[in-house]
Amino acid sequence: MSIDVILRGTWTPIDEAVFTGLLGNSVASTYRSYDKALQNSWINFEDLLFLSRKGDIPYVLFFAPLPVVDTQIQMKTERLLSGLSKTTFSVNSRNQVHLGDIELIVKDLLRKQTLLKTHDKTLKQNKIIGLLSKPGPTIEDDANKLMHALGLAHNAIRSARKKEDALDLLISRLESNQVLVSRSVQHFMPQRLIGVKFSGLTIRDSKVPYIFLAGGDHGDYQEPTGRMIFTLALMSVLVARRVFAPVTYDASSPGSEVGREYDIVGAMLMPQDALQDVPLETLDEVKAAADEFKVTPSALTVRAQRLSMIGPDTAATHLNELQREFGQRPKSQARQPKAVNAVRKYNGREFSRRMLDVLDTGGISKREFCRVVCLRHIRPSQINDLREALR
């Protein structure tokens, strides 16, 4: 089977297996011109160039023999998977993440790690990675060990004025320990996340591991900021456990197979001794406690059930009502952020700050900074605006 490439009236056949092999596992396969080419068995050269750019694939590979292409695909996959495992880390979730769904984001974050290590000689070996490789005597011991290493007191998150402040605090403590945090910003990442339900991913590096927090609807009816705090804490535990993988989890399921990592997060954010005297029988009491502990009411309900503070029937009633209430919320339209704020959010503050230091010491030019650090989303004249956004 072949697909004809049309250029100025000339039809040049390429192997359909080459076409699908190169594009089928990349973001390019989400575009209509990919499906049309398979349906019609032909494609205009301009459309092929478009797909090759979206898939970050040299277009000459489409005209190479299949064995050569298979070798290139295998090499590319091995490079990508050097930063994360082949399987999805999943907790109470049936969702799986396919490499093509996140390929360009993984490649970009791996490139950012390499860029930073090339230019910043102040980086040290990361002390969070592997901190919990060997399980401690209890869940609480592991939680305390990680919190201490991050320089984060148990009551620090609860003392934050609102959940957004608690999230910023957790990010700052991770980044102070060279764990970089990137957050999803549609149209400012190298790849669109369309219909992908996953929580994020952790990417391996001995000095600057990356955590990527996915945005959007996860399908578990939870308000975004509280869910993101739990997600970030979970992924910090995974880094400490040397687990580097895409992450999916259903934060509203009290199932027994949630695993040690999930319970460590519960002990970090909702310590048993702090929950002991908190009333949790009514849903209003659960919501008030969730606001105090800066988590979602669903996460607090699951934690309380796992600690036998409420029974399974009460928990199920709470979770069902929370799902119903969430489904009735008016959907807000996300605003397009300013470019400098979007770049700061996707890159993470620490990566952006350190690369600005590289710029200031002459390690890279302003144009190169805008190209490799900011993916051309800002111009050299906006670099000072980015500085201000980082303060």
**Confidence bin at 330 (pLDDT 50/70/90):** confident
List of residues 6+ apart from 145 with CB closer than 8 A: 131, 132, 136
Q: What is the pLDDT of residue 157?
A: 94
**Residue 67 one-letter amino acid:** P
**Confidence bin at 360 (pLDDT 50/70/90):** very high
Counting beta carbons within 10 angstroms of the beta carbon of residue 147, is it exposed (0 to 12), middle (13 to 18) or buried (19 or more)? buried
Q: What is the pLDDT of residue 329?
A: 77
Dihedral in degrees, nearest 10, Cα atoms 140, 250, 351, 104: 140
Separation of CA 144 from chain center: 25
Instruction: Check whether 343 has a pLDDT greater than 90.
Output: yes
> What tokens does 175 get?
């980044």
Q: Which residues does residue 14 pair with via DSSP β-bridges, in sequence order?
A: 3
Mean pLDDT of 337-349: 94
Q: If you search the block for the tokens 């290590």, which residue do you land on? A: 117
Instruction: Check whether 217 has a pLDDT greater than 60.
Output: no
**Confidence bin at 93 (pLDDT 50/70/90):** low
Q: What is the pLDDT of residue 364?
A: 93
Residue 175: φ, ψ to 5°: -70, -25
pLDDT tens-digit map of 370-379 = 988 998 899 9
Instruction: Check whether 81 has a pLDDT greater than 70.
Output: no
Q: What is the pLDDT of residue 209?
A: 96
Q: What is the pLDDT of residue 323?
A: 86
Residue 220: φ, ψ to 5°: -115, 20
Number of Cβ within 10 Å of residue 101's Cβ equals 23
Mean pLDDT of 272-289: 92
Instruction: Check whether 255 has a pLDDT greater than 70.
Output: no
Calculate Rg over the CA atoms of the chain.
23
Angle (CA) 177-179-184 rounded to 5° is: 140
Instruction: Check whether 256 has a pLDDT greater than 60.
Output: no
pLDDT greater at residue 94 or residue 186: 186
Q: What is the pLDDT of residue 172?
A: 97
Strand ordering across the sheet containing 200-203? 89-91, 246-249, 200-203, 210-213, 180-183
Mean pLDDT of 133-156: 95
CA distances from 308 to 263, 312, 386 (A): 13, 9, 48
CA distances from 338 to 112, 164, 333, 359 (A): 22, 19, 16, 22
Q: What is the pLDDT of residue 92?
A: 62
pLDDT greater at residue 187 or residue 156: 156
Q: If you search the block for the tokens 């490649």, which residue do you land on? A: 107
Number of helices and strands in the chain (H, E): 18, 8
Instruction: Check whether 77 has a pLDDT greater than 80.
Output: no
Q: Which residues does residue 180 pair with via DSSP β-bridges, in sequence order?
A: 210
> What tokens does 152 get?
């984060």
